[in-house]
Chain A
Amino acid sequence: QKEVEQDPGPLSVPEGAIVSLNCTYSNSAFQYFMWYRQYSRKGPELLMYTYSSGNKEDGRFTAQVDKSSKYISLFIRDSQPSDSATYLCAMSAIGGATNKLIFGTGTLLAVQP
């Protein structure tokens, strides 16, 4: 079993739709959760950062963490064509000698105008 599972998509939605992107994980030690956005031929860009359980909102983006279910989500409201990208979830445990992030494979999102 992979430590982090993410549906690769592709996910195609019309402009203005609400998008839900998800990851599940198996390691209960994970405490830090991140979402990165990666445009074609670019490096990943940090979008959202969450510690432990709960919700975090930033503009049209909301990140949710449910540690009891080992499940994290990213919601995008009023999606725009400029949101078309690959979305990567990443997570890390507390402590350890190195700052090791475990990534999902990424979900490709296409927002159609």
Chain B
Amino acid sequence: ETGVTQTPRHLVMGMTNKKSLKCEQHLGHNAMYWYKQSAKKPLELMFVYNFKEQTENNSVPSRFSPECPNSSHLFLHLHTLQPEDSALYLCASSLELAGGRYEQYFGPGTRLTVT
């Protein structure tokens, strides 16, 4: 496996279900991100982890709960979601270096549908 992988690729869940999205990066990066992509809207940054520490939470509802056990793996735990949470959820990673370089590399995304 190379790059950034995400599972599952598609997920349909009811509003009372609990599910988790998984992301794994094989690039040796030290920062990982969760984004939400909805139609006609810019990518929305949800969470950022640098060296396993959460450094950003963009006012995301508590029904989304991230977990970063190490610098290669990132999870997004979902519970009691709403239909408006239906979107493409993208994971990304980057290599944080002193002095910058800010390219982020994305996974293929999980298409989530909440019924």
Residues of chain A having any CB pair with chain B under 8 Å: 2, 4, 8, 32, 34, 36, 41-46, 49, 88, 90, 92, 94, 97-106
Residues of chain B having any CB pair with chain A under 8 Å: 4, 6, 31, 40-43, 45, 48, 50, 55-56, 90, 94, 96, 100-109, 111
Q: Bound state CA distance, A44 and B111, in angstroms? A: 14
Q: Which are the 8 A-B pairs with shortest beta-carbon distances?
A: A43-B106, A103-B43, A103-B42, A92-B102, A43-B108, A32-B102, A44-B106, A98-B55
Listed by A's residue number, 22 A-B pairs whose Cβ atoms lie within 8 Å are: A2-B42, A8-B40, A32-B101, A41-B111, A43-B6, A43-B107, A44-B90, A46-B105, A46-B106, A49-B103, A94-B100, A98-B48, A98-B50, A98-B56, A99-B48, A99-B96, A99-B104, A100-B45, A100-B56, A102-B42, A103-B42, A104-B42
Q: Given known contacts A46-B104, A103-B42, what 20 new A-B pairs fall within 8 Å (CB)? A: A4-B42, A8-B40, A32-B100, A41-B111, A43-B4, A43-B90, A43-B109, A44-B90, A88-B43, A90-B104, A94-B100, A97-B55, A98-B50, A99-B94, A99-B102, A100-B45, A101-B104, A104-B42, A105-B41, A106-B42
CB-based contact A101/B100 at 8 Å: no
Q: Bound state CA distance, A2 and B44, in angstroms? A: 13
> In the assembled complex, which residues on chain A have CB atoms less than 8 Å from the CB atom of B101?
32
Q: Bound state CA distance, A95 and B42, in angstroms? A: 22
CB-based contact B106/A45 at 8 Å: yes
> In the assembled complex, which residues on chain A have CB atoms less than 8 Å from the CB atom of B107?
43
CB of A7 to closest CB in B, whole Å: 13
CB-based contact B109/A42 at 8 Å: yes
Chain B residue with Cβ nearest A3: B42
CB of B39 to closest CB in A, whole Å: 10
Q: Bound state CA distance, A101 and B55, in angstroms? A: 14
CB of B105 to closest CB in A, whole Å: 6
